Copies of this chain bind each other. A is one copy, B any other.
């Protein structure tokens, strides 16, 4: 019997980079039936060697094979140079950054961006159903393939423009990095009195869950919104760290501006 593999409809992918995003993308694309990672490049081969049984790996750009799309999941600063070093042209090359311009990719390529709006770290498991993929392309023709690729990982997708990607990345800093710093301050404040930060964890989760259904505007409560001056004064007195006081005052003002106090 002759077995003819039906690969014609599969999207072939080469991944470049061996970090967090590259590794999670590899795993998600490798599972998908509509796409196939046919090669994985990293300048440091050791980092991707654990996967050498599963996929051809290389550290030599001159050995890159032909593919439908090349995903550059490397440091923001490395994207421009790496894209210009690729020894081919007129193929679809995308990066995964929220903040790098699509035009930083060498113009000899068809250019695109697959920006996964999620926080990746090496050890944590990621379900791509919870990773919205924001898609941008220079020419319209490249869009359907990138959309199919994202959908093949089970991700929600959204076509966006450069300005939208910029503000999404900026907003992500507010809701991820800055929010996490507020958790950190909560940690410092509680531990200063020997209280347990663990007690705050259910509240932190509930706060994030609440805005899945109602807007942050509707969800707001607390002394700032109520303009409860007595409590605000008490709180500022407890805070010993000047910077924590400044953050308390600034965010209290921000809430009061939002809610017309």
Contact = CB atoms under 8 A, between A and B. Distances in A.
Interface of A: 76, 99, 117-119, 121, 124, 130-132, 134, 158, 160, 163-164, 166-168, 170-187, 189-190, 192-197, 199-212, 215-217, 219-225, 228, 231, 234-235, 238-239, 243, 246-248, 250-251, 253-255, 257-258
Contacts of A180: 207, 210-211, 216, 219-220
Contact of A177 (B221, B250, B253): B221
Nearest to A123: B214
Given A131-B202, A210-B124, A195 B222 contact: no
A193 B235 contact: no
A121 B221 contact: yes
Contacts of A121: 221
A210 to B, nearest CB: 7
Given A173-B248, A179-B182, A250-B250, 4 more contacts: A119-B207, A132-B199, A158-B199, A183-B211
Counting every copy of the chain, the complex holds 2
A15 to B, nearest CB: 21
Contacts of A194: 164
Nearest to A162: B193
A199 B250 contact: no
Contacts of A247: 174, 178, 250-251, 254
A196 B158 contact: yes
Contact of A171 (B158, B163, B186, B208): B186
B179 A193 contact: no
A21 to B, nearest CB: 12
Contact of A251 (B181, B192, B203, B228): B181
A202 B117 contact: yes
Contact of A164 (B119, B171, B176, B195): B195
A176 B201 contact: no
Contacts of A175: 182-183, 186, 200, 203-204, 207
A248 to B, nearest CB: 8
A187 B216 contact: yes
Question: Which interface residue of A167, A180, A211, A225 has the most chain B CB atoms within 10 A?
Answer: A180
